[in-house]
Chains A and B, each alone.
Chain A
Amino acid sequence: MSLFTIDFQTAKVKAAIASAAIGTSILLTGCGSSSSHDSTVDMRTYEINVSNVTPNQPFSPIAVILHTSGYQAWVDGEAASTALEVLAEGGDNSSLLSDASDHSAYLASDSGAGAIGPGNYESIQLEVDAQNGASLSVVTMLVNTNDAYTGINATSLADLASGESVSYRTPVWDAGTESDTEAAGTIPGPADVGGEGFNAARSDSSDRVHFHSGVISNQDGLSGSVLTADHRFDNPAAVITITRLN
């Protein structure tokens, strides 16, 4: 048992060092949009790093939300909110961020500065009152798909000590709001120039969030697809590392 504990802590420390090194070497870091606080309040700063590890699925600008318990960006097996649909079909995170900021559990949020290309990453820092016990949600669309997204849904950061970091390798979900036709004109990403993003019609056979079954492509048996083997992906799609800076 002690062996396991030591090993685990070592791994965490290593991850923290690696993440800190990355954090200082780039200047992408955005300022959190947390509201002003009394200077005597004990604040915590979290750095959220989202790395795109897909072959050719750019990520739409990330939505990063810190909140207390009670907020979820989605519920597996249930219908997606309209805000999630807007993000998952068109890459537009404004509705999701707006809805979150209206939620009673909201603490702070920010949008990524832009799309995150395959092989790239972006870091965002958010500051919250330590007393609130933060959880994290992150959502971003895989833009060369009909309605695929990846992220983190209401993961508690309560166990994260100062200076520690934790990494998640995240799978891809299907919002269940648009049929995965992969057809020309239906995909907002660069693989389908001029393709449509959000459409309020719910055209999937079952209107519920589930794990994505992957891009098929026109090179692997879907004759009507505008996507090629290059756009296929496997899980995980992203590595999301959260570091508590203080």
Chain B
Amino acid sequence: MNIKKTVIATMLGLSAVSANVQAEQFTVQIENLTNGIFFTPLLVAAHDSSTKLFQTGTSANASLEAMAEGGDISGLVADIAGTSPTTVENPAVGLLAPGANTTTSMLDTDGTANNYLSIVGMLLPTNDGFVGLNSWEIPSTAGTYSFTINGYDAGTEANDELTASIPAPIDFGTGTGGTGVATSDSNTNVHIHRGSIGDDNSTSGISDLDNSVHRWLNPIARITVVVQ
């Protein structure tokens, strides 16, 4: 199955490159469908078949780590700039709250090979969790395409779930006095996030997160792409 997928992706990639043009105009809506997790400024990027913002099973680079641990997408933007991607940065203009949605301005990839869509944004409050979409092939047929996406762990920071380790641009309702859930990541490559564990004690326990607010199960967001 993996081999087949690779073959297909390669074929599509080659055909896209040889044709080089695939007229595309589309918008991307991101809906935060979590109970109590915020998304930091999102990077929405249409790019060529060889560009990736992240990949599971591989070690996060410093730019991905900076996004996943601190919400800073500037490193990733700089990393892929050489491939002339079509991007929208921070469409929600700040945090995307639970239950909220945001839609990008029209992305125009006409005359480019930017036929793949990727999205990343940090999950708060987490140590190094992020919402991610990796290289979804943008359909050339006009229509509305909707699907859900998951939360990932960058594998770069232990999920201690302590307030001191987690950026807090606003009050996320985290507690204090936790002893720390974990001291290291067993899987230090990018992987599906196991979810936060939290506890029901805001002044002690193992975690500073609230188990009735800050847990989640995948998927965590819905993406709706409208191709003109």
Instruction: Report how many residues on chain B are interfacial, defined by Cβ distance under 8 Å.
Output: 33
> Which B residues form the contact surface with A (CB < 8 A)?
4, 7-8, 11-12, 15, 31-36, 98-101, 148, 195, 197-200, 205, 211-213, 215-220, 222
Q: Residues 1-40 of chain A: 1 if any B CB is under 8 Å from the residue's CB, otherwise 0? A: 1011001000000000000000000000000000000000
B33 touches A211 (CB 8 A): yes
User: Chain A contacts of B98 at CB under 8 A?
Assistant: 206, 210
Closest approach, in angstroms, between the C-beta of A24 and any C-beta of chain B?
30
Listed by A's residue number, 8 A-B pairs whose Cβ atoms lie within 8 Å are: A1-B12, A77-B101, A171-B148, A210-B99, A212-B217, A213-B34, A214-B215, A216-B215
Check A216/B211 contact, CB under 8 A, given A7-B4, A211-B219: yes
Instruction: Knowing that A214-B215, A221-B199 touch, tell me 20 more A-B residue pairs with CB under 8 angstroms.
Output: A1-B15, A3-B4, A3-B8, A76-B31, A76-B33, A77-B31, A171-B217, A171-B219, A174-B35, A205-B213, A210-B34, A210-B98, A211-B34, A211-B220, A212-B217, A216-B200, A216-B212, A220-B197, A221-B197, A221-B205
A201-220 residues at the B interface, CB under 8 angstroms: 205-206, 208, 210-214, 216, 220
Contacting residue for A222 out of B4, B11, B33, B211, CB 8 A: B211
Q: Name the residue of chain B whose CB is nearest to the CB of A214.
A: B217
Q: Name the residue of chain A whose CB is nearest to the CB of B8.
A: A4
A199 CB-CB contact with B under 8 Å: no
Cα distance, A137 to B12, chains bound together (Å): 35
Closest approach, in angstroms, between the C-beta of A28 and any C-beta of chain B?
29
Cα distance, A4 to B34, chains bound together (Å): 33
Closest approach, in angstroms, between the C-beta of B161 and any C-beta of chain A?
12
A213 touches B31 (CB 8 A): no
B200 touches A223 (CB 8 A): yes
A68 CB-CB contact with B under 8 Å: no
Cα distance, A7 to B148, chains bound together (Å): 23
Check A213/B200 contact, CB under 8 A, given A1-B12, A7-B4, A77-B101: no
> Which A residues form the contact surface with B (CB < 8 A)?
1, 3-4, 7, 76-77, 171-172, 174, 180-181, 205-206, 208, 210-214, 216, 220-224, 234-235
User: Chain A contacts of B215 at CB under 8 A?
Assistant: 213-214, 216
Contacting residue for B218 out of A205, A220, A235, CB 8 A: A235
Closest approach, in angstroms, between the C-beta of A167 and any C-beta of chain B?
15
